Amino acid sequence: MGGVAMSKTIKASIIGITGYTGLETLRLLLAHPNVEIAHLTSRQHENASIGEVFPHLSHLDLTVTNTDHKTVGADSDVVFLGLPHKTAQDVVADLHGSVKVIDLSADYRLDDVETYEKYYTSHNHPELLSEVVYGLPEVVGADAIKNASTVANPGCFALLGQMMLFPFKGMIERADIFAITGSSGSGKSASDGTHHPVRNHNIKSYNINAHRHIPEITRAAGIKEDQLNFVPTSGPFARGIFANAFVKLQADINPLDLAEQAYGEQEFVRLTDNVALANIVGSNYIDLSYARGEDGVIIVQGAIDNLVKGASGAAVQNMNLMFGLDEPTGLDTLAPIYP
């Protein structure tokens, strides 16, 4: 709506366009006033019009190619990586420093290699872990990201969980989180867990206290793993994560004051007294509520679109910071799809 479009144009590429995060990044970049698409790549498609691969984008005059990542890097101002974990390790290492990189995989989210290897797999480039910046400006600060060459985009559950707890950093005795995600969080490949006849009306938890996003949450909350119970759950809807946390603090502090202190200036954080999943779908907003419960417990609720704020929206927000644009550029014009 209105406003003066900046003249700057960023050449952006997506490596791994066929996954949901790659695809959602493209959706957001198409709505961004300062971006033009350089390359869209996929190992599965040598050279296909985008409409062949994704009929919902058949109006676009774009091509999906199997261009190697170094060529992509050389032709781009920024490269988004929508690759699986492990695969991204070497690609980041090859590109780091030569082009701005925003890695949507988990490979560089954690600081120390031991934790990474405990939750994921072996790491080929542990020396880079400290050079890649964790891409959550509301937690690490915008300045860190502005100066980054490569950014590691947060996990979806991780982003929501840590933003719920971050205002209490260093004050938490224990946090018990129940979080329920839509089926798009499972990615683009069909599986038993996303088989419609059952998923359509099922709710089931999985990886309780063992989910890979846990170390991102504990780090931001300033707690140890034994101070967190985290119950990831799958729900009968396509987009979004809704989470409820029961938090016991070390002292009696007004939770809303802390939340306002932490997020008062943040464009995409909406503090509310009534979080509802339908209010954020399709947008980069995160809704958060903080209330006092019984027995000194703080009840925190939060909701995000797992593919936007939980992935590609956060990535574009990082891109804006890395290129000196206003942080909300191209994202604040995308209101939630409602209903």
Catalytic residues: 156
Question: What are 205's strand-pairing partners?
Answer: 233
Looking only at residues 158 through 197 of this chain, which bind a copy of itself when binding is defined by CB under 8 A?
174, 176, 178, 180, 182-184, 186, 188-192, 194-197
Tell me if 58 contacts a copy of itself by CB under 8 A: yes
Best CA proximity match to 218, nearest among 210, 227, 209? 227
Alpha-carbon span 119 to 40, nearest angstrom: 30
Long-range contacts of 221-225 (CB under 8 A, 24+ apart): 221/162, 221/165, 221/166, 221/168, 221/169, 221/172, 221/175, 222/169, 222/170, 222/172, 223/165, 223/172, 223/174, 223/175
**3-state secondary structure (DSSP) of residue 126:** helix
Best CA proximity match to 81, nearest among 12, 179, 27, 161? 12
Tell me if 205 contacts a copy of itself by CB under 8 A: yes
Tell me if 233 contacts a copy of itself by CB under 8 A: yes
Per-residue DSSP letter, 99: B
Looking only at residues 122 through 161 of this chain, which bind a copy of itself when binding is defined by CB under 8 A?
none
Total interface residues for a copy of itself by CB under 8 A: 99
C-beta of 199 vs 212, nearer to a copy of itself: 199
Tell me if 23 contacts a copy of itself by CB under 8 A: yes
Q: Of residues 71, 204, 250, 326, which one binds a copy of itself by CB under 8 A?
A: 204
Looking only at residues 94 through 113 of this chain, which bind a copy of itself when binding is defined by CB under 8 A?
none
Do the Cβ atoms of 241 and 180 come closer than 8 Å?
Answer: yes
Alpha-carbon span 139 to 136, nearest angstrom: 6
Take residue 160 and report the two structure tokens written for it. Answer: 């929501």
Q: Of residues 27, 85, 125, 169, which one binds a copy of itself by CB under 8 A?
A: 27
C-beta of 89 vs 232, nearer to a copy of itself: 232
Tell me if 33 contacts a copy of itself by CB under 8 A: yes
Q: Which segments of 108-165 does DSSP mark as H helices, in order?
A: 113-119, 137-140, 142-146, 156-165
Residue 129 beta carbon to a copy of itself: minimum distance, rounded to whole angstroms: 26
Looking only at residues 259 through 318 of this chain, which bind a copy of itself when binding is defined by CB under 8 A?
267-268, 270, 272, 274-282, 285, 291, 293-295, 297, 299, 301, 303
Dihedral angle computed from the Cα positions of residues 171, 177, 182 and 185, in that order, rounded to the nearest 10 degrees: 60
Tell me if 70 contacts a copy of itself by CB under 8 A: no
Q: Of residues 63, 113, 229, 260, which one binds a copy of itself by CB under 8 A?
A: 229
Residue 86 beta carbon to a copy of itself: minimum distance, rounded to whole angstroms: 23
Query: Mask 207-226, x = binds a copy of itself (CB under 8 A)?
Result: -xx---------------xx
Beta-carbon count within 10 A of 241 CB: 27
Residue 234 beta carbon to a copy of itself: minimum distance, rounded to whole angstroms: 9
Q: Of residues 29, 311, 321, 325, which one binds a copy of itself by CB under 8 A?
A: 29
Tell me if 335 contacts a copy of itself by CB under 8 A: yes
Do the Cβ atoms of 317 and 311 come closer than 8 Å?
Answer: no
Q: Of residues 46, 114, 118, 337, which one binds a copy of itself by CB under 8 A?
A: 337
Looking only at residues 315 through 334 of this chain, which bind a copy of itself when binding is defined by CB under 8 A?
332-334
Tell me if 120 contacts a copy of itself by CB under 8 A: no
